[in-house]
Structure 1
Amino acid sequence: MFTGIITAVGQIKSIQAKGDGLYLVVEVPTGYLDDAVMGDSIAIQGACMTATELTSNTFALDISRESLNKTVGLDRVGPVNLEKALRLNDRLGGHLVSGHVDGVGKVTHFATVAQDPYGSWLLRIEAPKALAPFLAYKGSIVVNGVSLTVNKTEDSKHVCIVDINIIPHTLENTTLGKLNQGDAVNLEVDLIARYVARMMEAQVK
Structure 2
Amino acid sequence: MFTGIIEEMGEIVAVEARGDSARLSVRGPLVTSDAGHGDSIAVNGVCLTVVEVNGDVFTVDVIKETLERSSLGAQGARVNLERAVRADQRLGGHIVQGHVDGTAVLLSREPGEHWDNLRFSLDGRIARYVAEKGSIAIDGISLTVTTVDDDSFGVSLIPTTLRLTNLGGRAVGERVNIEVDVIAKYVERLVSAG
TM-score range, shorter chain: over 0.9
Of 135, 143, 147 in structure 1, the residue corresponding to residue 138 of structure 2 is 143
Query: Which residue matches 1:153?
Result: 148
Give the RMSD, CA atoms, in angstroms: 1.2
| Contact 1:151 1:163 (8 Å CA) reproduced | yes
Of 165, 179, 183 in structure 1, the residue corresponding to residue 170 of structure 2 is 179
Gaps (5+ residues) in structure 1? none
Following TM superposition, the consecutive aligned residue runs of length 4 or more in structure 1 with deviations greater than 6 angstroms are none
Given the alignment of the two structures, is residue 196 of structure 1 paired with residue 191 of structure 2, yes or no? no
Tell me, what secondary structure is at the counterpart of 1:149? strand
Larger radius of gyration: 1
Distance 1:70 1:4 in 2: 19
Which one-letter code corresponds to 2:181 in the other structure? D
**Residue 181 of structure 1, CA deviation:** 0.8
Tell me, what secondary structure is at the counterpart of 2:122? strand
| Contact 1:6 1:146 (8 Å CA) reproduced | yes
| Contact 1:41 1:48 (8 Å CA) reproduced | yes
| Contact 1:2 1:84 (8 Å CA) reproduced | yes
Question: TM-score of the superposition, structure 1-length normalised?
Answer: 0.91
Distance 2:93 2:84 in 1: 13
Query: Which residue matches 2:22?
Result: 22
Gaps (5+ residues) in structure 2? none
1:1-205 equivalences under 5 Å are 1-29=1-29, 31-113=30-112, 116=113, 119-155=114-150, 159=151, 161-203=152-194
**Residue 67 of structure 1, CA deviation:** 0.8
Aligned length: 194
Question: TM-score of the superposition, structure 2-length normalised?
Answer: 0.96
Distance 1:73 1:122 in 2: 24
| Contact 1:21 1:68 (8 Å CA) reproduced | yes
Which one-letter code corresponds to 2:59 in the other structure? A
Give the percent of matched residue pairs that are identical in Structure 1 and Structure 2.
41
**Residue 168 of structure 1, CA deviation:** 1.1
**Residue 184 of structure 1, CA deviation:** 0.9
Distance 1:11 1:33 in 2: 13
| Contact 1:102 1:189 (8 Å CA) reproduced | yes
